[in-house]
Amino acid sequence: MASMHKDMMKADSAEAAQEVTARAIFEIFNTGNTEGLEDLVTADVVDHQLPP
């Protein structure tokens, strides 16, 4: 997952950064390797969805 962060820093556009992020998220969920998850999600995230 460290390579994902390096790839994001090299991304030359917002679309490229989104592609790298999407690839990392798919890798996390498909492999179960959550090592790089803290690079993508902050601890103080706010959920703006109203409860049902």
Backbone angles phi, psi at 17, to 5 degrees: -65, -40
Burial class from Cβ neighbours inside 10 Å (0-12, 13-18, 19+) for residue 32 reads exposed
- 1-52 per-position pLDDT tens digit: 555 555 555 667 888 888 888 888 888 889 988 887 777 777 887 888 878 7
pLDDT the model gives residue 24: 84
The answer to pTM > 0.85 is no
Give the CA diameter of the chain. 41
